[in-house]
């Protein structure tokens, strides 16, 4: 990640060859360098953690908005990743989505995979 107000960044990872650095959480991640950054619009699939969700693909995250900022406007991209939210079924809840919220295309839980209808 870049910073607290930025969107997410994605980098190439090749086991055994990618140089790794520790992020501010102490977790290893690929180091920045020439040819390592991947624009979000070129990804095919993004697995998105969720604190809560509804059947329309709306999600509650950790409240920082990283995924919403990263994929804002993705419906207009010429290629866009499939957004799959991951949660346990018991995390389903009623959500009042905000205009800036980005809905998931699918919700995957411990027992189901649901197409939300948000991918048009």
Cross-strand partners of 111:
none
Q: How much is the CA Rg of the chain, to the nearest whole Å?
A: 15
3-state secondary structure of 14: coil
Q: What is the spatial distance between Cα 54 and Cα 39, in angstroms, rounded to a whole number?
A: 28
Element (H, E) at 47: strand 45-49
Active-site residue set: 59, 68, 101
Angle at 47 between CA 116 and CA 72, to 5 degrees: 70
Contact 81, 46 (CB under 8 A): yes
């Amino acid at each position: 990640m870049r910073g607290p107000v930025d969107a997410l960044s994605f980098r190439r990872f090749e086991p055994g060859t990618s140089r790794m650095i520790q992020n501010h959480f102490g977790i290893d991640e690929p180091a920045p360098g020439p040819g390592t950054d991947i624009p979000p619009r070129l990804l095919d699939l993004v697995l998105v953690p969720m604190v809560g969700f509804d059947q329309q693909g709306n999600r509650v995250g950790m409240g920082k908005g990283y995924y919403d900022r990263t994929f804002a406007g993705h419906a207009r991209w010429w290629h866009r990743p499939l957004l799959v939210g991951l949660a346990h079924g018991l995390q389903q809840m009623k959500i009042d989505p905000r205009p800036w919220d980005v809905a998931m295309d699918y919700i995957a839980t411990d027992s189901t995979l649901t197409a939300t209808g948000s991918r048009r």
